Amino acid sequence: MLQGALRDDVGEPIGKQPVTVRITHDGQGDDTKAPLDALRLAKSCGLSSITIAQDTLQVETDPGGRFCLRVALAKERYKAELAWKGASFLEAAKLTVPIDLGRRPLYVAFDPTPRVLSLDRTPARFSVLAESQENGATQAASGLKLVVATGKGGSVPLATVTTDARGRGSVDVDATKLGPPGAHELSLSFAGDPDTGPASVVVPLEVRAKVKLTAPSLEGASSRNPEDGIPIDVTVDTVAGPVPEGAVEARVGDLVVGAGKVENGRANVVVTFAESGRRELEVRLRYLQQSPYYEPGPEVVASLPVSGPSPLTRVPLAVAGALVLGWLVLGRRRTPRSRPRAETRDDRKPMLHAGLEVLETRASAKDATYTGIVEDAHEGNGIARVRVWVTRGSFVGEEIRVSVVTDDDGRFAFSLEGTLSSDALSAEGPFHAKLTTKVPAPGDLRITLVTRKRKLLERLVAWAKQRGAPYDARPEPTPGHVKRAAREDDVATWARAVEEAAFAGQEVDERAEIEIDALFPGRDANAEARRSAEPKQEVPKGPKLG
């Protein structure tokens, strides 16, 4: 059985496309000719149709981009050459797969599959699984030495593990050997032996690390006037070394009094605020992450000695204040109308739908700073740990231009220069569905997200209204009504899953949403119908839209 999938460079399936398959003996001279008699008897696995042309097979991918075929061959060595001719904006693709039917085929996997790993928790334990097939039956493959590696093509071996009688094994690896925080690959492979063929699997792995802040300049610091600016040199480090990105923010109470960009593990934060009469203030320093790979660690809390300004420095300020006051009085006489009060967060009502609102644009065209808050569309409260990122599409995939995570109050900030009209801004939380829209002009933004469980309910309601009777109901269809009215088993199963997710009292994360979304009736065959059943987003009513 030869099965696979045709996908583009961002993982999207390419359906209804012909893939040519040529199977030949893996030998020399005449031994390389194709086993034509066997190929003519090739059968589909039920996913797609097969046609035969000379010494090649042509198999068509299903709507999910998958293909599969079965062919009876003698127990010898072969190679399968797969090819796709390409399409608009997509290059052609080729792949050669060695096949050794003289040895038992092997399947290896990580169980469970690691997705995210922290360098602060070491050693990292990986569990593996090895299975073989004999006469169509799956058996545990015991006594095999598997190699766990990282790097391109498994170029950096980390450890070896020997499978037990159940075909399983586990191994501890020094987490720091996985490399710096970032996107990596983790591979598991078996080189093969006289009885068992080689096998390997590669999984993407996100390596993260906690950020540690230290501020040596605060130790034994002398009193300084905060109105003149007090520089604080901050060291930004992890167990893997200096941090190359992000920013450090300084707060006094709830007031942000300074910030500095992190470069090569250091940040220079200049603290500036009005003199309050106190001789010592508590300053809190915290790391603002730019990507998910560097996670904020504990805040640094220190006492900052401050001094008041010299009395002589108040004279120019008093004169300037008098001049400004006079200018304001004259201005008020000339413009009797008062400006409307700026909208505050307490004034704003929940938007009840996902969207983006530009509260205020930057006065200077050179200021490329974005600030804002991410709120729950129905509750109106700020959402912590929401990822906000900007992407730009290209022929080789999507480029992430900037990525930040909201703080405990749901706030974020980043700088972005040279935007294009095709750039997209996205936001997604652990329990809130993804929103993607155009990147607005720099300014203060308000992003509202709906929870994943509400998104599932909206999708079901939109689908039921589109299908009409008996699924639609007044005033609005519910999962329970759709389940009772279901004429097909897949509709009832999907409605039951949505009902449990929405009303069982538990939060719905990304994994649960994907699992329930996979139950969508006719998910592969009716992709267009599914997209049309998506709830339409209303246009947010605000000063300006992105």
Note the pLDDT tens digit of each residue in 461-471: 888 888 888 88
543: confidence class by pLDDT, cuts 50, 70, 90:
very low
Q: Which of the listed ranges 27-36, 369-378, 390-399 does the model predict with the highest average pLDDT? A: 369-378
Lowest mean pLDDT among 123-127, 130-134, 186-190: 130-134
Q: Between 126 and 353, name the one with better pLDDT.
A: 126
- Show contacts of 112-117: CB within 8 Å, 24+ apart: 113/203, 114/186, 114/203, 114/205, 115/203, 115/204, 115/205, 115/206, 116/205, 116/206, 116/208, 117/175, 117/178, 117/205, 117/206, 117/207, 117/208
544: confidence class by pLDDT, cuts 50, 70, 90:
very low
What is the per-residue burial (b if ≥16 Cβ within 10 Å, else e) of 320-329? eeeeeeeeee
537: confidence class by pLDDT, cuts 50, 70, 90:
very low
Mean pLDDT of 113-130: 91
Tokens of 281: 């203030």
What pLDDT does residue 85 have? 93
What pLDDT does residue 479 have? 86
Domains, the chain: 2-100 (2.60.40), 106-209 (2.60.40.10), 215-305 (2.60.40), 357-449 (2.60.40.1120), 452-532 (no CATH)
What pLDDT does residue 340 have? 40
Query: At residue 278, does pLDDT exceed 50?
Result: yes
What pLDDT does residue 395 have? 62
Query: At residue 258, does pLDDT exceed 90?
Result: no
339: confidence class by pLDDT, cuts 50, 70, 90:
very low
pLDDT tens for each residue of 85-95: 998 888 999 99
Mean pLDDT of 331-346: 45
pTM here? 0.49
Mean pLDDT of 49-56: 77
Mean pLDDT of 20-27: 84
